[in-house]
Structure 1
Amino acid sequence: MNEKSEFLGTEKINKLLWQLATPAIIGLLVQAFYNLVDTFFVGRALGDQSVLGIAGVAVAFPLQMLMMAISIGIGVGGSSVISRMLGSGDVKKAERTLGNVFTYTLILSIIFEILFFLNVDMVLNLFGATVDNLPYAKEYAVVILQGTLAFTFGFVLNNLVRAEGNSKVAMNNMVFSGVLNIFLDAILMFGFGMGVKGAALATVLAQLIGTLYLLHYYVTGKSPLRLAFSAFAPKFDLIREITLIGFGSFVMGASNSLMLLVLNNVLEIYGGDLSIAVFGVAGKLMMLVFMPIIGVSHGLQPILGYNYGAENYDRVNESLRLSLKITTLFGVAGLILLSVFPGTFFSLFSTDTEIINSGTSALRIIMLASPLIGLNVIGTTLFQSVGKAKPSFVLSLCRQILFLIPLVILLPHYFDLTGVWMAFPISDLMAAFLSMFLVWKEYRYFQNKNSSA
């Protein structure tokens, strides 16, 4: 079975990284695009109420981010173990990991759904809902919570498939579910007049179909790993390893949720529903830049994990250098695109001149340090891939929790609403410096290991 993953240790790095990253980039861009389309349809379907509808979806979105955080944390932790075990030839542990990932995902998903469904009003108010946008936020959130299992298993399985080096399967799933989501949006929101509820239902149904596709991949034996029922029995030392390694990714996703919680509440004070709606659109546009960078990290992870497990440290460093160059270029391209045409992008979502003008100035400030985002993402991926939980945790924590949230709270006292937008490039800069320091130390360590081998 290991033969299906051996190319991770033999193929040229340049070709290999693009081979694995390109499907992930395409799939993630489609995912980002259909999130944009969700917001587009909400804005267009609600007409005069577009600001409240977009703001309501923005308030409910942290719930999706929390689901993604849990599933990506499990998926990344499991992927790290699986890719390293494949690299070292321990297929049995890789298969035990696969089964335990399924069990772990099921348990946490059920707990999450029950906990948040019973407290949905309180949670949405905590996330910054206002009297005016709460009905829209609740309508969206209730449906999303009902689809928790579809969301969590979909994201987990995508990570596991990539860990095997089979990124095309993950891409096919994301592209198909993304296109399906867009199609269902149009039918449910305009054909059936379901409004915000239709947007949520389209998302859940598309995720469910994608999850069933990935389950079929494992059940039919197309994976290099055998899915055996005996592997579902929890092994607590294995679950602990998955948790520790994936905790950094969980924190990164959960910190996005916490950041949105703080941000929505601050925006309510300094700009009300209009500013919440502005970031509801701006945040989705930013994902067009962020997703290709994440896609590179997804392609990088199995390469790092496999070659670290096989002690091919020169290949680890070569893939690290190349990924940093590529992600920096993506950040520069995103900066140019969203800084030159921000008004054009915002006008797609609403005809309200206030949201277009406010969004134009906000997006130009937010994107200033986007070329540096890749340093933090690749640094986090590096430490996750080699099984070093502490530095991956620090790097995943620093941008949102240590830097961005305090700045979002502090800067508006001096610069009003502009201070909220300024917090983003400043936190990106600070996170990049910390990432550069830790990554350079690890890079030199691998150089020394390689020269002494």
Structure 2
Amino acid sequence: MADSYFIGNYTGTTGLTAISLASPLETLLPVVLLGQGMVSQVKTLMAHVLLLGLFIGIVEPMIMLPGMEWILLNVLGCSDEVLPVALSYLNVIFLLSPLGYYMTITIVGTLRIENRAQWAMVMEIVAALLNVIGDPILLGALDLGIKGAAFSTVISEYIVGAAVLWYYLRPGSTSQLAPDFKGLKSGIQFDQLGRMFTAGLGVFTDLLNPTVCSIVNNLQIAAWSATVAESDVTVAAMGLGMRFQSLLFMPMVGICQGLMPVLGYSIGQNNQSRMSGATLKVASWALGYAIVCCSGIWLFTHPLISLFSDDEDVIDQAVTICRTLFTASWLQSMVQMAAVVTQAFHHIKRNLSITLLRPVLSISFAYILPHFMGVSGVWMGFLIADVITGLCGGVVLAVYVRGMRKRAKEQQQEEEENKDLESGNASDITEGEKEGEGEGEREEKSQTASLEGDAVIV
């Protein structure tokens, strides 16, 4: 979002279009690495994560850079005017950024495993602030153009990644996740690597969805636009709309993900009452936040878009697209909640179905609706997909909450029955003790009477 702001003001529509085309390719790497970083829980696996991320960081530029121009032209539908700008941005990103992504995404993700979520958040905020500070310096003061935005992104990643890496590798580190490279002497544990990727599959698909959707959107916009200039304007406007949606909904995703440790702990204790109560509370928070965000975008769309571009064509198009995207996107709070709950219960198939439903529908509508509505059918598909997936997510969430409540009632009944049994057993024991005491007293009295009789005889 910081790159979009400064690129829009320093390079104009061409730069915005270039970064909108570049973003899908740029996000392919953290899609894989975040899935690794979120699941490695032992020191040997941490060493695997570091080496695997290093390998990807070295190999990916070798694969992506030679075919970058072909991908931009034939896969993403990049125009001849935008091509050199997009290449200048992506060449820097793919040459220098993979190792930066590897350090920030993977290493920062492991902080959350150590119950240091606040530090992970601080590190990510610092990276964003460094990027915001670096953009105007490199784009404007040093006049590096769109390359300046790429360099700013890379530098911020390396600084934060190096700081967190030092935390793990420093002498005397007490971290439970400090990598143990000695454990690699026995060889690479491919079964453990497979586990990591399987466990990170939900994160992978969740992050891959906007990447695939962006690629399809760009292709369809290029195919249905009347001119190349119109295509560039629409791609830039669509890119801004998607960025607004991603930025504003990040806190909502964080709210929903915050439910995960509560559910996990409650599942371990089989505390159904706490599970249902926490789920409903978090769902209400997420829904309320999403409604407020969507309402704010509708009310202040034009001034917000104006921050990123002074091109009236881009602003008008982006206002229309943003309002369409945010009309029903508040329903995605239910989808996120359903995804978190199914993941907590390890219902992988249901989780993947919920996660993949929106991109499958939006991509399908992006190919179908333009035949009836023109290029506007591309973003109208998101509106329809949001309604359908939101309702499905709400139904799934309601089913799980209903099951939690039902089991909570059963647990309560069992507890009451156990209490009744315990109180009944206690009363039986008390009565038995009283009877025993009565018999003892009678025996003592009879013994006393017999002794008195013997004394009289004597």
1:150 match:
100
User: Residue 327 of structure 1 corresponds to which residue in structure 2?
Assistant: 286
Q: C-alpha separation between the residues in 2 aligned to 1:175 and 1:310? A: 35
2:160 match? 210
Correspondence list, 1:54-453, <5 A? 54-76=16-38, 78=39, 82=41, 94-125=42-73, 126-146=75-95, 147-220=97-170, 221=173, 223-231=175-183, 234-269=188-223, 270=225, 271-309=230-268, 311-400=270-359, 402-447=360-405, 451=410
Distance in 2 (alpha carbons) for counterparts of 1:209 and 1:405: 37
Unpaired stretches in structure 1, ≥5 consecutive residues: 1-34, 83-93
Q: C-alpha distance in 2, partners of 1:196/1:212?
A: 25
Deviations, residues 256-275 of structure 1 (Å, cap 9, x unaligned): 11111110011123241000
Structure whose alpha-carbon radius of gyration is higher: 2
1:93-113: CA deviations, max 9, x gaps?
Answer: x44443443344334444433
Report the counterpart of residue 14 of structure 2 in structure 1: 52
Question: What CA distance in whole angstroms lies between the structure 2 residues aligned with 1:251 and 1:177?
Answer: 24
Name the TM-score, length of structure 2 as normaliser: 0.81
Query: Which residue does the alignment assign to 2:4?
Result: 39
Structure 2 segments unaligned to the other structure (5+ residues): 415-458
2: CA distance, partners of 1:222 / 1:54? 45
8 Å contact from structure 1 (residues 249, 396) kept in 2: no
Alpha-carbon distance in 1 for matches of 2:288, 2:183: 42
**Residues 331 and 391, structure 2, Cα contact 8 Å, conserved in 1:** no
The residue identity in structure 1 corresponding to 2:8 is G
* % identity of equivalent residues: 24
**Compared with structure 1, are the counterparts of its residues 404 and 277 closer, same or farther at alpha carbon in structure 2 (3 Å cutoff)?**
same
What letter corresponds to residue 362 of structure 1 in structure 2?
I
1:236-293 Cα distance to aligned partner (Å, 9 max, x none): 3332222222112212222211111110011123241000010122122222321111
Write out per-residue CA displacement over residues 334-362 of structure 1, whole angstroms, 9 at most, x where no aligned residue.
Answer: 11111111111121122211111111111
Q: Partners of 1:381 and 1:158 in 2: how far apart?
A: 21
Deviation at 1:429, TM superposition (A): 1.6
Deviation at 1:310, TM superposition (A): 5.1
Worse-matched range after superposition: 111-120 or 265-274: 111-120
Q: Residues of 2 paired with 1:394 and 1:165: CA distance? A: 30
Match for 1:327: what amino acid? Answer: A
| CA–CA distance in structure 1, aligned partners of residues 178 and 271 of structure 2 | 27
Relative distance call for 1:442 and 1:158 in structure 2 (3 A) is farther
Letter in structure 2 aligned against 1:151: Y
Inter-CA distance 75–390: structure 2 relative to 1 (3 Å threshold): farther
Alpha-carbon spacing, 1:412–1:57, altered in 2? closer, same or farther (3 Å): same
Match of 1:91 in 2: none
Number of equivalent positions = 400
Give the counterpart letter for 1:44 in structure 2. N
Distance 1:360 1:438, change over 3 A: same
Contact kept, 8 Å, 1:293 with 1:374, in 2: the verdict is yes
Query: What's the CA shift string for 1:179-237, capped at 9, x where partnerless?
Result: 11111111111111001000011001101111112212323435444432245553333
> Are the aligned partners of 2:30 and 2:105 in contact in 1 as well (CA < 8 Å)?
yes
Q: Which moved more, 1:144-153 or 1:171-180?
A: 144-153
Between stretches 417-426 and 94-103, larger displacement belongs to 94-103
Does the aligned pair in 1 maintain the 2:30–2:101 contact within 8 Å? yes
CA distance in 1, matches of 2:166, 2:262: 25
Shift in CA distance, 312/103, structure 1 to aligned 2, threshold 3 Å: farther
Letter in 2 for 1:74: Q
- Residues 103 and 162 of structure 2 are in contact (CA less than 8 Å); yes or no, is this contact kept in structure 1? no
Superposition deviation, residue 378 in structure 1 = 2.5
Shift of 1:415: 1.3
Q: Offset at 1:313?
A: 4.5
User: Which range moves more in the overlay, 369-378 or 222-231?
Assistant: 222-231
